[in-house]
Chain A
Amino acid sequence: MKMILRPYCVSKPAVLASVLLMLSGCASVEPWVKPYERDKLADPIMAFGRHPVALQHVAHVRDSREAAKGANGSGGGGCGCN
Chain B
Amino acid sequence: MAHVGRVLALIIVILLSSLRASAQSAVTVPPPPFWPSFLPSLAGVWTVAIGANGNLQPDFEGAKQFRASALPIPSIHRPGSREEFVSPRDNASFALFDWDAFRAGPVGKLTAARTASQNTALNGLGDVATALELGGFAEYLPVDWLRARVEVRRGFGGHDGVVADFSADVIVPIVQRVTWSGGPRFTWEDTRATAPYFAITAAQAVASGLPAFDAKGGAHAAGAGTQLRFQVDPHWEVHSYVEYDRLLGSAAASPLVTLRGAPDQVRVGLGASYAFDIRVPGAP
Decide whether A and B are members of one complex. Answer: no
